[in-house]
Structure formats: structure tokens, C-alpha cells
Structure 1
Amino acid sequence: MIGDAQNLKNIPKDETQIPAEHRSSLEHLLNILESAQRKLQEASNKYGARPKRFRSKVKYFFTYLDRNECTEILEACQNDITGALVALPDRWSPQVTPGESSDRSPNFDTQAIPQPTPVAHPAEPAEKPGASATNSTTPVAPSQTPPAPMHAPNQQQVVPEGNSTGPSKRRKPLSAIKTALDIIEAASKPIPVAGPYLEAAAKVGNIVVQMVQGMDSNEETAKDLKDHASRLSEVLDTARGESVRKQKEIMTACMNDVQKELQSLQAKLEEMNGLSRANKAFFFRDHDETMKGYKEKIRIALEVMQVLNNLNTARLVTELHDAEGRKEQRRLLGLLGDAKYGIRGAAVEDVICLPNTRVQTLERIDTWIRSRQPSENVLWIRGMAGRGKSTIASTVEYRWRFHAATAIFHFRRGQKASDTGLVCALARQLGGNDLVPELKKPILEAVANDEDIGLKRLQDQFQKLFVVPLSKVPNNSCPVLLIVDALDECEDVKYAVKFVELIESYASSFSANVKFLVTTRPETPLLRALEPIQGQAENLDSATNVGDDVAQFFQAGFSKIRKQHNLGEDWPNPENVQALVDMSQGLFQWAHTAIEYIMEGSPQLRIQELLLSPSICDGLDALYEQILLEAFKKASKSPLRQDIFLRVLGTLVVAPYSISLEVLAFLFADHALFQNQSDIVGLLRAEALNDLRSLIHVPHSSTDPVHLMHTSVRDLLVERCGGAPYAVDVANNHRSMALKCLELMESDLKTNICKLSDLSKPSSDPSIQELFWDAEAAVPIGEPLSVRITSILPKVTSTLVSSKSKGNLPHPDMAIYLENP
């Protein structure tokens, strides 16, 4: 293929052979071909020029690479060259006027343009001499296959039979189909009601594209699947159009078209799944692990389509056009809480497992979810801090979001205000799932019948929001997956134990497809509560081959560091990587912290710092202490900077919710360090948080939450760093935080500051929440003083109302208010 690109670049540039009006077009096309040649050369250099070497690396080490990387590089090159070949005759053929011959440039022979030479796929050797000509990949003589005809721009093209796009369109390249599906998947998210359906369908299309990328494009199976993916992208693109969605009849027809295409694709995949000869279409059919991955893709696609094809699309369209009904649903769901589930990470990639890691653990979890054994409703994932329990929980929810009714809740130590919202938060997610109407309706009915359910006891909530709705789920429906992460971080141990006991009490009344996945550290009270419950357990402390997964995690992190700091591909050397893997002791949180620490400074120096002090940085606490001590030493050079450093650290530990940089700037605006400064947010980043980015998540947006990277960081600061200068005294920080809030309230609060028409409504009322939340953009519009203060104050007043603290209140009457709210 490189030779073909070179030949295409050798098109004569003599002015006597090329018309002047076509020179700019030629330059443009030559740029395309040069780009294609560079891509091919890159692939050749990376994987080896000799086909045998290339095949060996891909065949036996494919699982250690990005599975689509090689295919995407070569496909991009092929598409570039194909695009150039299609464009050459269009751009170089002279413009023809009626009655005029098209041959106006006898010196420019378009038929002389060299045609691309067919090339064997890198994973498949060319046929040996004497082999059958049917599948031969050697060049065909021009006498056997004439070159593609050159045509004028207005000539109709011949399209291969079976192309669904009609005789006037060419078959779409696979990359174009993938791009279209990616756009549809992303653009469908904000569409109400029908959005999840369209997004899930686009996900199916992308799975099919991934399968075709691993197939010989000449195989009929690959051609059929590609056509299915192309047709699916077209009907989905039509259905997501805003003008279409506004017209109920047209939208209904479009949704029917989508469902028919999904049904057709489902039948094709089921047929393919049952035929062994379908495996012959794959390049890696003799590589067991790779074929196992493709079979899993087929299974996931079939499960998603089963959910989508069972839905009544007419009901979705009707609900889409019922604005009042959707408004009432939002109101009812709002009564279940504010949707704060402890979720972290600005992007999905930040909170899910790296591809090809935790493979065996995730496979066992998938098998458990698919199981219909009545005694397997519960799975406990146990492990010490840093083992990756939360990441596994988030990964499971992400993987199953389209072929199960999923809901997830993350406990976070120190954020007690949201702990008692566990059941309501899970029910809110299930009740808002448009793909599972069997659950949505009874949950909304339960809230409508008891609008104060969010204020009731745990047992009442469990019975009304879980037991009754879940009892109506048929055994043959998709799984219902309830994920509770970090149950040990619930500050009310009795509440956590009671939740476990309720699961045990009602498990027998749930159908076999209702699943509870719970992650926890091996805390004694919870372990005693778990003992009588029948179910499965996954112990991450005894997991094998964790070192290999941690090594891949380090390699992915170092790849980002190399790009960010413009380092060579040989950095760091394998010995250093292995040394860091050994120091991690199998703790992903240690690896994550180390990567963040190395990235935020000079990578060469910081990696050496870690490697030269293995005993100092051995274990999570030791690594945290090393980073904290270095940051504190820098801050201590200035008393003001040291003070704001400690205040911000203490605030992040005691705040009942994750708070933003804007809120921190508001709270500390009167600090001496920030006098006469306008950009307090920027100064907070530079003076208080810059050296702690490996321990504290500092978002780009000043309105996004700032939070500790891991609960183990808080545990160290509060419980295990003794007399260290950066230790956080919880009681003192509660007290200072409450005083700060009260000072701001006294100076800035006004009667009815939010200008509400009905002052009797609680702050949790949806109409109040809508004042501060842009539903379309899914971001806060702004946080007025009352919201900022009242989100912090309830947590800290209990500490403040003590005999020693009352004298510190800005106004004596505040003590009475706090004691008698």
C-alpha cells in the first residue's frame, strides 16, 4: 500500500500535461496522499515491515495492545487513498458544457493514473503460488479487471448490489458509519424519553462496527453486518432530528423503522452466533482470547437489542409529546432527593477500569448478573482501601447500563448528609429509566401515594420503593442491578447494617433477576451482618495476577505523561515500571496517586524520587505523607499561604458535600492573602491546591466540585497522621467552618433572598431546585448565598452548640436558634 501511495504521488507535474485550472486540486489531493503515506509508514515502522513479523506481533500480543488501533490506522489510510481516487477524476476532468466533448485536454491522460494495488490484510498472508484464485489477494492483471472508469462529475455511479442507500449513493466507508454512530450516541443523551433508546441503539451499531473491523471485508458476513450498521445509523440519524421529534406521527414511524432494523440485526447476529463458519470471517479466528472478546460483543449486542425490541416505541413517542406528564414525573422523582449519589470523575474514563484489566473479576460478575439461580441475588465485593472496589462498581454499572435496569450509590466518608438518601437515590434512578417501564411506573406510583417517602424510616422506604416495585418484575425481563459502593463508609453503622438485614429479609420475595452488588472494606460489624446472607463473594485481597493489571495501569498513565511532557517512547524503562508495580503492592490507588504526582512536576525527577525512597513511599499512607509533607514545606515559607493551605484542607475534609472552587473563594474572600485580589479562584489553585493535585481533584471549571481523590486520604488526615503539621482536627474545623458560615449569614442574608412566592416550601422542593439548576445543560446556574451556606451549616452546628463555642457566635441569639431550629 505504501508503494501505491508513492505511485499516486508520482503523477506528472509537468505544466504541459496538467491543465492550469486543476493544479490547486492536484496539490490538495497530493497532500491527502502524503498524509496517507505517513500513516502507512507509521504503521509499518511500529509493527514491523515484514508481514510475518507483523502477523506474529498482532496474533500473539494483541491483547496487550489497543485492539482497534492497528485496524483504525490502516483503515484511515485506505479511506484517504480511496477518497483521493474517487476525487481525482471528479476534480481533474474538465467541466463539460452541453454539446461539447469531454476530451478537452488531450495532454492529460486520466486513464494513465495508476490504480491502487490490492494488498493482503496484515493479519492474513497472500496466497501462495498455486493456491485457489477465489480468495487470492495478489494483484489482478488489468486485462482481467479493468480499472475503475473515469467519469465526469455529472455521471451516475454504479453501486454494488445490495447497497441500502440506493443506486445514487456509494457504500459508506466503515469509518464514516462509526463517526455517524458516535455522533448519534452523544447527541441522543439530552433527548427526553426517546434519548436512552436511541443512544442504546447507536451503541449496538458501534458494537457491530467493532466486529466488522476485525473481519475480512470481502467476507459476506462482514458485508452484511456493515450494511446493517449503515442502515441503522441512517434511521437513527433521522429519528434524532428535532423537526422529526416535534411531529408525533413521523416520529412514531421513525422509531418503528429503528426497531425493525434492530430486529433484523438481532436475527442476523443470532444466526451468526449459531454458525461456526461465521468465525471464518474474523482475521483472528485462531486466537482464542480475541475470539472470546468478539463473542462477548455479540452477546452484549443481543442482550441490548432484546431490551430495545421488547419496548413499546409508540408509548415512548406518546410520553415524549406529553409535556405535562413528564413535568409531573420530574416532580415526583424530585421528591426522592437531589440526585447526589457521591459520583466522582469528570468523565466516564476517570471512573471505570482500564480496558483489558480486571478481566476475570468482571467476567465472574457478568456471569452472576446473568444467573437466574434464586439464591444468587447478592454479591459482596470485599477488599482493603485502594484495591479498586469503587472503580469495579462503576465499571459494572457502565457496562450494563443498556441491557439492565441499573442504579448506583457511592457512600463517601464525611458526607453524612447524603447517607440516609440511599434507597431514595437508587429508586430515583430506576424510576427515571425509560428503558424499563415495568419498574418506572410502580416507583412513580409509590411516590405519588406517599409524597413524604423521602422523610420516612429506612424500612418504610425499602418496602415501598424496592419490595413492591421489584416484586412486579417478571423473571424473563432484563436484570435489575442495584449497586451500593463503599457501604463501610456510611457513618451510621446501624443504618448500614439495617440495610443489609433488609436485603436478607426480602431477598426471597425478589425474582432471580434482581441483583444487589455491594462493595465494602472488611469491617467487623458489616461482616457479621453479611454472614447469614446467601450469595456470592469476591475477595479482591486474594485476587491473582493483579500485578499485570497494575502494570497496564502504569503504562497507560505513562503514555499520557509522555504526550503531556513530550518525552520519548523509551521513558520510563521497563525496570523502573516494574519497581513501581512492586511498590504499589497491588493497590490501584497507590498507582493512581503515583502517576498524578509524577505528572504534575518534572516526570524524570519525580519518578526518581519515588524509586530512590521505596521504604518511605511504601504503602498508601507513606506515599500520601510524602506528598503532603512536601506540599506543606512549600506552603510554610509564607505564614499566610500556610494558613490558607490548612483551612482549605480542613474544609474539604469536614464539608458535608463536595464543594466547588467558587464556594471556597466565597468562604475565604476576606482572608489576608486575598486582599485586593480579583481572581481568588486562581490564587486558590496556585497557593493552596497546586501541590496537592495528586491527592485532591481540582477541576478545570470553578463550578465543579473539588474533592479528595480517595477516602483513604481523609482517613489519614483525620485518624492516622498523629502530630503531623497537616493533620486535620475535625472538631476545630467544624467549629471554624460554622462560624464562618454564620458570619456570612449575618452580614449578607436578607429576608426572602431568593424572592420566593411561597416561603413554606422546603429547599428540596423541585420548584426551588429549578431556580438554581439548568435542566437542559445539566449544570448549576449559580449558587446564591443561602444555598452555599445552608448546604454546609446543618452538618457543623452540632459541634458549634457547646458551652465553649457559644461565646464565639457573632450574635448571642444565634445560640438559641441553633439549639431550637
Structure 2
Amino acid sequence: DTRTELLREISDWAEDPHGKFIFWLNGVAGTGKSTISRTVARTFEGKGQLGASFFFKRGEGDRGNVSKFFTTIASQLAIKRPQVAPFIARTIGNDPTIVNKCSHEQFQKLIIQPLKEAPLHSSPLIVVIDALDECEQEQDVRSLIRILEQGKDVTSVQLRIFVTSRPELPIRLGFIKMSKETHHDVVLHEIQQGTIRRDLALYLHHELAMIRREHNLLGRTQLPSNWPGDETIQKLVEMAIPLFIFAATVCRFIADTTWNPKKTLAAVLEHQHEESNLEKTYLPILHQQIAGQTRKRTKDRLVAEFREIVGTIITLATPLSIMSIAELLRVPEDDVEIRLDSLHSVLSIPVDKEKPVRLLHLSFHDFLVDTEKVAGEFWVDEHEMHGKVAIKCLELMSQPDRLKQDMCMVQAPGTLREDIDNQTIGIALPPEVQYACQYWVHHLKKSKKPLPYQGAVQVFLEKHFLHWLEAMSLIERTAESVDAVRTLRSLFSTKSGKNSDLQSFLLDAESFLLKNWGIIEHAPLQTYISALTFAPERSVIRRQFHTQKPRWVRLQPKVQDWDAFLQTLEGHS
């Protein structure tokens, strides 16, 4: 076992009735924080002391923000401590909208009050929060740290919070502002080098022995029983310190049966004099993509394919499958599969092509987009890639028979969203189209230079704005469409290159949405019926889409402009 001293320290902290409320384990990328979190959660689960856990992960939908954090913790607490469940249920019964309230109110009413009122034993109850730095909004991080501190006042149970993160500035500031009596800090990469060396050596000995046994079972040229040898393992240890992600990635790379393990190991050792640990970790894997290629044209093509396919994967807001990636990029599935075949050491690539491809560690993303271009020819210009993905999303949604009126063919205009089954929606809007609908504006914003794309945006909106709203209703994201339109107004509001027609469209679109979002949210086809019919005469949307209103509507209201009392969407005012 590795990390034994640290795990013992965490266990002692949890058991100590006078221990500090929060244990903050921080360390640079790749030092093994998430592995420790999973071990800690399993250990406390085995002791019956785990109250709840939440593993943040950027680009994984609700796991990348705090929107579901407190409700997830409350739900798990109700399961782990049934005595708490009636009090949480009472809170929800008294106020069903609590799940949409601010974070502070959710924490107090769904977690703190039930814990105080429930008849609990004064034994350890641990909440594990992993990778706080992967919470995407800096303000959410600051707020969460501030809110969690309030849990120290719970006395009915020995509540403890275990947090891991990188030492990012917002997190450091959050803990600096907190009383030192409240939190205990351990910096993972500052643990004694001797301890780290020992743990890395143990891990590498174990993993490489497994690789040797499995390779020899395949009936290939046998690896000797002492392979790779203590000297080689010590070289790998020195390359790895203090990054466990190096050891884990290298072992996955060597284990890949596509390659000869001796040659793969030799390729890794060639990079032992690189400056950074991440270069030592990832450059051997990248160089393997073009190994043996002597023609410049072939190399350039392979690198371009890598940057398009892998660049897209690391840029996505939430993971997509091989099938969906191929559809989004409009390339054959085989091209995606072939390009990913030799990247199992850095990506989780399911056998089922309909399941999402995921990064094994965020540091691979960080390495590829580093502005110092440490990835060399494999460097991905992150802002440019966001712009390319935004255009791919617009092109996908604009394909014939993608977004159209009544795309689920329900026909009856009064049909409620809740009465349309998810299978029907999934057929009309496959995952990649749902992704495009939800995130095309996100990618435009992340491109940092949206003005070159305003023409494509205008063409899309003037043809598909109402179709997009129907789709957003079907995937239950209507509220997000309000934010998206406001974001577009902000992106294209600069005087240089300003498009007045697009600005007029977006201003009217915002009014259209604020007036009608509630109707559209519950009945998608009302986008074309009541929403369009009751738009003012001067409405840009009404004029643009007049052909889409029902033929049986003969007379429309003669209101000139949007009234001043538009509905205000909570959280969007």
C-alpha cells in the first residue's frame, strides 16, 4: 500500500473529537489527490462514517459547478443517515422550490438544520469533496468555501469535511480568510521526498510486474523475470517525483498491447531529461502518434488529425461518444477510432462507441493547451479550437432535418413537454445535436474573438431561432436559452465590426424569451403558436418568422412594442 502515513493522518483527524472541521489536501496537478479521495471515501464507507461525497469534474455537466452540489449531499445524507431523511423531506415539503434557491439557503435548510434536529450519535460523519479546483466558476468556489465553514457549528454529530484541490488562488484565499482553528492543511507535493519515492517505487514495481505477466501470457517473446530491473524503476521514480499521474500514465502506455513494452519503456526513458514532469509524462505518448513516419506530408496529416479530433475532445464542455464526435466533426467514425487507438493511456475510450470518451486526467488538457507550447507540433490553440467547435455546432444544427418545427412529430400544439417521452426526443435530437444546442454559445464565448463568427450566427438565428427554442425546451434547457441570448448580445456589442441587424434581432429575441419562456418551457410547440402570435407588430422575431405561425391565425394583436412588465426569470435579472 502507498500513502500509508497520509491515510493514517486523515483517519486520526476524522476520529479526533477535537480535530479541526476541514481537512484541506492540496497539491499540484498529478500528485494523486483524486486517488487519495477515492481511497478515503472507500475507507470511511467501510467504517460506516461516510456521509456523502462529491467529485467535481470540469466538463462533466452538473459535476462542473455547484448547481447540484447541496442537493446531492443532502440526498446522500438521507440515505447514509436515515434519521436525517424525515427532516430533509419536511424542508422540501414546506418549500418545494428550495432546490432552486441560493447555495447558502440550500446548505442551511437541506443539510445543517436537518443534522441539528435529527437524533444522531456523536460519531464521525465525513463529507468528501474532491477536485474543488475543477468547479468552473471562480465565484462558486469562493462562495462554497465560505458556506462550508458554517458547518462547524453542528454539534449533534462529529461533522468533518475532507477537501482536495490544486492550490489555485481563489481556493487559497478562501482558506486564508477562514480561521486557522477551522482547517488543517496538507500540501501533497511538499510531503517528504523519501516517502514519495518509496510510494512511487512500490506502485511501479507492482504495475510493471503485472504488465510483464500479462505480456508473457500472450505467448509473445517473453520478458525476463527481472524486467525492467531496479535501476530502470529508480529512473522512472526520479522522472515521476512528485507526480503520481506520471507513474499511472506511463504504466498504461507501456501496458498498451499495440506496442512492444520494451520499446515503449525505452521511448519514455528518452525523455528523462525534459524540463517539466508533464513533458516527461505526455511527450512519449504524443511522439508515438507519428513514430516511424518519414514523409513530412504524412506526419503533418497525422498531427492535423490529432489536433482536430483530440483538440475537440479536450475542448468539449461535456464528453461525447466516438459516434457523436464523428457526427459533430463530419468525419468517418473509423477516423476517430484510429486516431484514438493509441491514446488509451490518456483517454478513457469505451468499447461501446455510444458511450462518452473522457480525459483520464485534466493535466493532459493543460499540457496540450499550454501557451508555452510545450506540446510542440501537437499544441492546441484553445481559443481557436473553441471557435471551430462553435462553427461545427452551428453547421450540425443547420443540416437538413436536424432542427425543424415539431421535430418530435407530436402534431398537437398543446402537447406538454412532460408528455413527450425521452426516447422520442433522443431520436429527434441525438446526443451531438443536444450538445450543439446547449453549448454553441459557450464555445463562441470561450473563443475570445467572436466577431469573425457573427455572420454565421446571424444566418443560423434568422433561419433556426424558433427551432432552437423548441429544441431547448425538449431537452429541458429553456432557462439557459435566456442566458445564451444575453451572452450573444454582449459578445457582439463592440463598436468595431458591430452588426446592427444582428443586435436588433438579439434585443428582440431577449424580449421574446423573457415574455414567453415559461410557456415554451412547458409546451415546446407554443413557440410557434402563442409566443409568435402575441408578439408585438414591430417585433423582429414576428416579422422574421411570420410564415411559421399557424394558418388558422387570421388576426394578431396590434400591440406595437414589448411592454415594460416583462416576466423576470429568477437569476437572470
Q: What SS does the corresponding residue of 1:401 show, helix, strand or coil? A: helix
Q: Is the 8 A contact 2:31 2:189 kept in 1?
A: yes
Q: Which residue of 2 aligns with 1:805?
A: 453
State the distance in 2 between where 1:766 and 1:706 align. Answer: 32
Which secondary structure state, in structure 1, belongs to the residue aligned with residue 36 of structure 2? helix
Shift of 1:358: 1.3
CA contact (8 A) 2:53 2:128 kept: yes
Is 1:578 aligned to 2:234, yes or no? yes
Q: Report the equivalent of 2:69.
A: 423
C-alpha distance in 1 between matches for 2:351 and 2:437: 25
Question: Structure 2 residue aligned with 1:749, among 390, 394, 403?
Answer: 403
Q: 1:721 to 1:631 in 2, by over 3 A?
A: farther
1:697-720 per-position Cα deviation (integer Å, ceiling 9, x unaligned) = 222222332122211111122234
The within-5 A match list for 1:50-449 is 356-373=1-18, 376-402=20-46, 403-414=48-59, 418-424=64-70, 426-427=72-73, 429-430=75-76, 433=79, 435-449=80-94
Please state whether the residue corresponding to 2:51 is helix, strand or coil.
strand
Q: Residue 138 of structure 2 aligns with which residue?
A: 493
Q: Contact conserved, 1:632 with 1:726, CA < 8 A, in 2? A: no
Q: Deviations over 1:765-787 (max 9, x none)?
A: 899668889xxxxxx9x955653
* Deviation of 1:611 (Å): 2.6
Is the contact made by 1:657 and 1:792 (CA closer than 8 Å) also made in structure 2? no
3-state DSSP of counterpart to 1:421: coil
Alignment of 1:644-723 (within 5 A): 644-668=305-329, 670-671=330-331, 674=332, 680=333, 682-686=334-338, 688-722=339-373
Counterpart amino acid of residue 541 in structure 1: H
* Separation in 2, partners of 1:580, 1:528: 35
1:624 to 282, 288, 305: 282
Query: Aligned partner of 1:706: which letter?
Result: V
For the structure 1 residues 606 and 560, does the alpha-carbon distance in structure 2 shift closer, same or farther, using more than 3 Å as the test?
Answer: same
Shift of the 359–489 alpha-carbon distance from structure 1 to 2, 3 Å rule, reads same
**2-side partners of 1:591 and 1:535: how far apart?**
30
Q: Which residue of 2 aligns with 1:266?
A: none
| 1:379-410 Cα deviation digits (max 9, x unpaired) | 11111211111111111112222502432222
Q: Which amino acid aligns with 2:325?
A: L
CA contact (8 A) 1:661 1:702 kept: yes
Q: Cα offset for 1:556?
A: 2.2
1:728 alignment counterpart: 380
Distance apart, 1:437 and its partner CA: 0.7
- Say yes or no: does 1:595 pair with 2:251: yes
Q: 8 Å contact 2:386–2:443 — kept in the other structure?
A: yes
- Find the aligned partners of 1:754 and 1:398 in 2 and give their Cα distance: 44
For residue 805 of structure 1, give the secondary structure of its aligned residue in structure 2.
helix
Instruction: Compute the TM-score of the two structures, normalised by the length of structure 2.
Output: 0.69
Q: Structure with the greater relative contact order (CA < 8 A, sep ≥ 6): 1 or 2?
A: 2
- Determine helix, strand or coil for the equivalent of 1:420: coil
Cα pair 1:616 1:622 within 8 Å, conserved: yes
Query: 1:192 maps to which residue?
Result: none
Q: What is the distance in 2 between the residues matched to 1:575 and 1:419?
A: 45
Q: What do the CA deviations read for 1:533-569 (whole angstroms, capped 9, x no partner)?
A: 3132222123231211111211222123113321342
In the superposition, relative to structure 1, how do residues 473 and 574 fare at CA in structure 2: closer, same or farther (>3 Å)?
A: farther
Distance 1:557 1:629 in 2: 23
Instruction: State the AA in 2 paired with 1:813.
Output: E
Work out whether residues 77 and 85 of structure 2, in 8 Å CA contact, stay in contact via their aligned partners in 1. Answer: yes
| 2:74/2:110 contact within 8 Å kept | no
What is the Cα deviation at residue 797 of structure 1? 4.6
Q: Which residue of 2 aligns with 1:796?
A: 443
Kept in 2: contact 1:423–1:462 (CA 8 A): no
Structure 1: gaps of 5 or more residues: 1-355, 675-679, 774-779
Does residue 519 of the first structure (1) align with residue 164 of the second (2)? yes
Rounded to whole Å, the distance in 2 between the matches of 1:558 and 1:407 is 35
CA–CA distance in structure 1, aligned partners of residues 384 and 57 of structure 2: 21
Counterpart residue type for residue 187 of structure 2: N
CA shift in 2, pair 1:737/1:432, >3 Å: farther
Match of 1:455 among 95, 100, 103: 100
Query: 1:387 is paired with a residue of what secondary structure?
Result: coil
**Please, which runs of 5 or more residues in structure 2 have no aligned partner?**
217-222, 467-484, 489-509, 514-573
Cα distance in 2 between the residues matched to 1:461 and 1:445: 13
What letter corresponds to residue 430 of structure 1 in structure 2?
Q
Task: Specify the SS of the correspondent of 1:381.
Answer: strand
Give the drift of 1:727. 2.0
Structure 2 residue aligned with 1:563: 213
Task: Compute the displacement of 1:454 (Å).
Answer: 3.8
Q: Say if 1:659 and 1:705, in contact at 8 Å, map to a contact too.
A: yes
**8 Å contact from structure 1 (residues 407, 430) kept in 2:** yes
Alpha carbons of 1:608 and 1:641: their partners in 2 closer, same or farther (altered >3 Å)? closer
Scaled by the length of structure 1, the TM-score of the pair is 0.49
Kindly, what percent of the aligned residue pairs are identical? 25
Go from structure 1 to structure 2 and tell me whether the alpha carbon gap of 1:447 and 1:726 turns closer, same or farther (over 3 Å shift): farther
Q: 1:628 to 1:788 in 2, by over 3 A?
A: same
Q: Which residue type is aligned with residue 695 of structure 1?
A: V
Amino acid at match of 1:547: R
Letter aligned with residue 200 of structure 2 = V
In 1, the alpha carbon distance for the partners of 2:53 and 2:381 equals: 32
3-state SS, counterpart of residue 251 of structure 2: helix
Q: Any idea what the Cα deviations from partners look like across 1:93-147, whole Å, max 9, x if unmatched? A: xxxxxxxxxxxxxxxxxxxxxxxxxxxxxxxxxxxxxxxxxxxxxxxxxxxxxxx
- The structure number with the bigger radius of gyration is 1
SS in 2 for 1:367: helix
Q: How has the CA–CA distance of structure 1 residues 694 and 424 changed in structure 2, closer, same or farther, with 3 Å as cutoff?
A: same
Distance 1:813 1:392, change over 3 A: same
Instruction: Report the CA distance between 1:658 and its aligned residue.
Output: 2.0
Give the Å deviation of 1:494: 2.0
Greater alpha carbon shift after TM alignment, 635-644 vs 539-548: 635-644
CA contact (8 A) 1:371 1:513 kept: no
Q: 1:443 to 1:591 in 2, by over 3 A?
A: same
**Paired residues of 1:390 and 1:519 also in contact (CA < 8 A):** yes
Which residue of the partner structure matches residue 196 of structure 2? 546
User: Amino acid of the residue matched to residue 697 of structure 1?
Assistant: S
Q: Aligned-pair distance for 1:639?
A: 5.7
Q: Which letter maps to 1:719?
A: D
CA distance in 2, matches of 1:604, 1:766: 59
CA distance in 2, matches of 1:577, 1:445: 58
The amino acid of 1:497's aligned partner reads R
| C-alpha contact (below 8 Å) 1:721/1:727 kept by paired residues | no
Say if 2:71 and 2:99, in contact at 8 Å, map to a contact too: no
* Residues 1:811 and 1:657: Cα distance change in structure 2 (over 3 Å): closer
Distance 1:485 1:648 in 2: 29
Task: Give the 3-state SS of the residue equivalent to 1:637 in structure 2.
Answer: helix
Query: Judging changes above 3 Å, is the alpha-carbon distance between structure 1 residues 471 and 595 closer, same or farther for their aligned structure 2 residues?
Result: same
Aligned mate of 1:615, from 264, 270, 273: 273
